[in-house]
Structure 1
Amino acid sequence: MPGKRATRAQRRRHEEAAEWLLRNGETGQTVAERAAFQSWLERDPENRRTYDAASRLMGEASSAIRSDPSLQRVELRSPRSGRILAGCLLAIGLAGVLFLALDGPMRLRADAMSGAGEMPFLTLADGSLVQLDASSAIAYENSDDRRTVRLLRGRAFFDVARDPDRPFTVEAGGARVTALGTAFAVSLGDTETDVAVAKHAVLIEWAEAAYPSLRVSEGEQAVVDDRAGATRVTPDAALALAWRRGQLVVDNAPLSYVVNEMNRHFAGRIVIAGFGLADRRISGTMTVSNTDAALDFLQRALGVTVNRIGPLIVVRGG
C-alpha cells in the first residue's frame, strides 16, 4: 500500500543517513567514499534534509555530554585501550538516550513540530495556513499534481489555499482527508482519527481502500475508527475545535483522557495515582493550556488532591 511503502522508504532513508553520519566521522575516508556520499545526497532532496536533521541532533547530544560535569568526572578502571573503548561506548549510549529524550526519531520524520505548551501557526509553501496543537508534528510535500501533509502526532488545523489542479490531502492513521475548498482540523489518537470541518467540506478515504469514502460537511465532526473503518458523524465541530483556544470540552470522558490532554501543555508530567481513579468520568469545559486552572477544575469536579514533586504532578483520589 502507498502509505506502507512511504513508511519503509522513510525508515531506510533514516538508516542510510545514520550510516553516512558515522562513516563521515571516521578518519581516512577515500575519494570514492566521499563521492558516493555526495551522490546519495543529490539523489533526493529528502536525503539531504534527513542527513542535516541527524547531524543537528547528534551535535545536540554531543554538546549535552560535553557540558555535563558529572559525565566529565566518570572514571573507568581499565587498561588504556579498554578505557578508550568504554568511553566510546558510554558516549554512544548516552547520545542514544539523549537522541530519544530530544525526540530524535520524530524530528527526523517531521518538517514542523510543536513542544509542550506551544500552539504555533505555520504557512506552507503553497500558502495554506496551519495551526499545530501542543506536542504535535507534521511532514509535508508538494508535487506538480498533489499537496500532501502527514499528521505524525497530535492535532493540526488547516486553512487550505485554493489550487484546483493540486488536491490537498492530510494522511492520519489509516485515513486520508482531502479538502474540498475548506478549513478543517485533524486529530490523531491511538485508535481513532477525528476530523472537524470549519468551512465547506472534506472527503475521507481509507488507505486500504476497503471502506467507502465519506463526505463530511461544514459544522460536522467525524470520528474514524482506524482499525475497523467505522465512522460516526455528529454536528460537534465547534466543540472539537475548542483546542485552538487552549480549551478541552468533554462529556463523560475518563480522567485518563483529560490528563493526557493536559500533558500536551505541561513541560513536566502529570500522573494519576490510585486504583480506579483513571476511569472516573468528568464533563465540562476546562482550559488545559493553563495547568493550574485545569487542576483546580479537577479538584472541584472530582474532589481529587494534587501533589507537586518538582516537574511531577500526582493526582490522587480525595
Structure 2
Amino acid sequence: MTSADSATRRRDQALDWFLRLQAAPGDGQLRAAMQQWCAADEANAKAYRKAERIWQLSAQLAPTTQAQWPAEPVLAPVVALPVRPKRRRYWLGGAIAACLMIALAPSLSLRMQADYRTGMGETRDVTLADGSLVQMDSDTAIAVEYAGDRRDVKLLRGQAFFKVTPDKIKPFHVRAEALEVTVTGTAFNVDVGAGAGQMRVAVQEGSVKVDDWRAAKALAAQLKPGERLEYHEGQARVDTFAPGQTAAWRNGQVIADDTPVSEVVARLSRYTPGLVVLRNDELGRKRVTGVYDLRKPQAALRAVLQPHGGKVEAYGPWVIVLR
C-alpha cells in the first residue's frame, strides 16, 4: 500500500469513527474504542482531530431529497464507509459536510500542479503545441511539458482521450500514476479514476506501449485498437472491446458490462456535485450492466442501484448518500 493509499484509508477510518460517535454520543464503549484507535498511532489521532476541527467550523445541513444543484462545480471523491445501524438524524448532513471539506483538501495542491483542468460536469478540448488533441473528462487535470526530444503529459486526475500528432523522432508520453504510455501517433483513452487504485488504457487507433515506470517493467509492448489494459495493485489484465466505445464519456455515457457498482458510482461521481458516500460495501461489490446518462447523474445513480434494492438520498445540494 502506498503512503497516499495509507493516508486515504486513515482519513476514511477517522471519518467513520466521527460519524458513529455523532450518532451515539453517549456510547462509552464506542468512545473508548475510538480513543484506543487514536492511541495506536499519532497519525490516527491527528486525522481524528482534523475531523473534529472541520466539524466545529461546519454548519449543520438539514436532510433533503430535492434535486438542488449548486451553481459552482466542486470535485467529488467517493468515500466508501462501513455499514452501520440505520439512524435518520439531522446530524448526518452536517457530519458529511465536514467529510466533504476534508476530502476536498488534496484538490488544492492539485490545482497548483495542473496546466489544464476541468470542473464538475465540465469537459474540455485542449490542442497542444504540436497539434495533438487532448479531450478532458469532468473532474480531470493534466500537466504538459514539451522539451527537447520528448512530448510529456501527466494525467494528474480523472481521464482524457488523446489524439496524437505523429512524430517518430519525438515520442508522446502520458504518465498516469504508475503507468507510462508511449506512442508516436494514435488515439487512446487513459483513466486513473475507474475505481480505487485502478488505471486503464484503451486504444481506438494505432498502438501504444504501456510500462509500469515505478517497477521498471513493460506491461504491454503493443496495445492495439479494441484492446484495453487494466492495472490494479501491480497486476495488469488486457481485454477487448468495441473500439467505438473507447471513450463513451465523450458521448455523455457510462457503459457498464458486468461492472461492480462501486466502479460505476466512481465514474458517475465525476458529474455529481458534492460528495458521494457509498455506505454499503456489499452493495458496491454487486455488478450491473447498462448504459447510463452522464447528463442526468442522479437519475443514473438510481438506475444503477435499483436492481439491487439500493437508494439514493440527498442531504442538501452537496451530499449524496447511497444505501
In the superposition, the TM-score normalised over structure 2's length comes to: 0.61
Conserved 8 A contact 2:124-2:136: yes
How far apart are the structure 1 equivalents of 2:292 and 2:263? Answer: 13
8 Å contact from structure 2 (residues 188, 203) kept in 1: yes
- 1:287 pairs with 2:293: yes
**Other-structure match for 1:257:** 263
Name the aligned partner's letter for residue 227 of structure 1.
Answer: G
Q: 1:200 to 1:275 in 2, by over 3 A?
A: closer
1:154 aligns with 2:158: yes
Q: How does 1:237-276 map to 2 (within 5 A)?
A: 237-274=243-280, 276=282
Map 1:1-318 to 2 at 5 A. Answer: 101=105, 103-189=107-193, 190-207=196-213, 208-211=215-218, 213-225=220-232, 227-228=234-235, 230-274=236-280, 276-298=282-304, 300-311=306-317, 312-316=319-323
After the TM superposition, which parts of structure 1 deviate over 4 Å for at least 4 consecutive aligned residues? none
Does the Cα contact within 8 Å between 1:282 and 1:302 map onto a contact in 2? no
Larger radius of gyration: 1
> Where does residue 57 of structure 1 map in the other structure?
none
Quick one: distance in 1 between partners of 2:305 and 2:198?
A: 29
Q: Give the secondary-structure state (helix, strand or coil) at the position aligned to 1:301.
A: helix
Gaps of 5+ in 2: 1-58, 60-100
Cα drift, residue 274 of structure 1:
4.5
Q: Name stretches of at least 5 consecutive residues in structure 1 with no aligned partner.
A: 1-69, 71-96
Post-superposition CA distance 1:216-242 (Å, at most 9, x none): 1122212234524x3323234433421
Q: Distance in 2 between matches of 1:127 and 1:240?
A: 21
Give the aligned residue type for 1:129: L
CA-atom RMSD in angstroms: 2.7
Say if 1:171 and 1:226 are closer, same or farther in 2 by CA, change over 3 A.
farther
Amino acid at match of 2:248: A
- Asked if structure 1 preserves the Cα contact closer than 8 Å seen for 2:283 and 2:310, the reply is no
Matching residue's letter, 1:162: P
Cα deviation 1:111-154 (Å, max 9, x = unaligned): 11111111111111221111111111111100120100111111
Distance 1:252 1:145 in 2: 42
Deviation at 1:313, TM superposition (A): 2.0
Give the CA deviation at 1:298: 2.8
For normalisation by structure 1, the TM-score amounts to 0.62
SS in 2 for 1:161: coil
Q: What is the alpha-carbon distance in structure 2 between the residues aligned to residue 201 and residue 237 of structure 1?
A: 12
Of structures 1 and 2, the one with the larger relative CO (CA 8 A, separation 6+) is: 2
